[in-house]
Amino acid sequence: MSELDLRTAAASAAPVRRARPSVSEIFAMAFVLFLAVATVVPGLLSSIDPNAIAARDAFQGPSPEHWFGTDESGRDVYSRVIAGTSTSLLIGVSATVIGVTLGLILGVIAGFGGRILDFSVNRTIEVLFAFPGLLLALLVIVIAGPGPVTATIAVGLSTAPGYARIIRGQLAGIRSSGYVESARVLGHGPRRILTRHILPNALAPLMVLATLGIGQAVVWASALSYLGLGAQPPSAEWGAMLSAGRTYIGTAWWLTVFPGLMIVLTTIATTILGRSLTRRTAGRR
């Protein structure tokens, strides 16, 4: 860009052009909105009681009356899928929150606690990494017994080392970054640097990561439910529904397909959102 006439150029350089959302981003937003509605006001999306049993109506295929068909007890699969949103998302989100919080604590200790703490946290992370995913979760379940709460904690714990490692790296990067250095050179104090520069810059990407993580947490949590170690029937949790429906895979495909689809779509949507957030926040850098 020519800077021979700086004063005029500056005015046009300032405004930031926002990229128009792509088709996939629109889909992702719409789906997340749908999930949000299903979580907060499920009644808006379905008027049928998800737990209303009607044995005579069992195993009906999808129809205008029952969009996703009925299950083995004649319950409406669509309204159960909707009702399951809050459970599944609650588990996914709480697990992510646990993971991120633990990761943040570990990461911050490592990032700010001096060499010895950094070293020990680093080793801790390494050790936790040696219990891959589900394995750590299963160990937690052996200790605390199965159930949705345990499953949530288990998934949260098993994702924590990943977050911790990323946060640590992020903090280290920010701490040695040019702008922190220049704030120091200007004479700003450490607390101000921490609150004005380091934390805001470390947290933004963390939120993005967390968005990406929710989808995977939902998948892992539903895997535990599927194995009978997480949420249990008749609670309308996607993994548990899937697990129950799999028995009838030959007779009633809709019992497996729809909850599975919800898990897949949720993961896809959060991934798309997380990625576009990454792109947008990265664009600033």
**Which region among 77-85, 86-94, 103-111, 246-254 touches another protein (by CB under 8 A)?**
246-254
Nearest distance from C-beta of residue 222 to another protein, angstroms:
6
Residues from 196 through 235 that contact another protein (CB under 8 A): 196-197, 200-201, 204, 215, 219, 222-223, 226-229, 232-234
* Spatial distance between the Cα atoms of 138 and 131, rounded to a whole number of angstroms: 10
Structure tokens at 163: 């977050």
Task: Return the residue of 39, 74, 172, 278 that touches another protein, per CB under 8 A.
Answer: 74
Structure tokens at 14: 């300032």
Task: Return the residue of 84, 271, 276, 277 that touches another protein, per CB under 8 A.
Answer: 271
Task: Return the residue of 63, 101, 195, 251 that touches another protein, per CB under 8 A.
Answer: 251
H helices then E strands: how many in the chain?
A: 12, 0
44 vs 264 by CB, closer to another protein:
264
34 vs 248 by CB, closer to another protein:
248
Nearest distance from C-beta of residue 152 to another protein, angstroms:
17
Distance of CA 240 to the CA centre of its chain: 19
Per-residue mark of binding to another protein, 117-136 (x: CB under 8 A): ------x--xx-xxxxxxx-
Q: Name residue, tokens 């991120």.
A: 100
161 touches another protein by CB under 8 A: no
Structure tokens at 55: 């044995």
30 touches another protein by CB under 8 A: no
* Spatial distance between the Cα atoms of 221 and 163, rounded to a whole number of angstroms: 17
* Spatial distance between the Cα atoms of 135 and 112, rounded to a whole number of angstroms: 30
On the CB side of 177, how many CA atoms lie within 13 Å of its CA?
Answer: 17
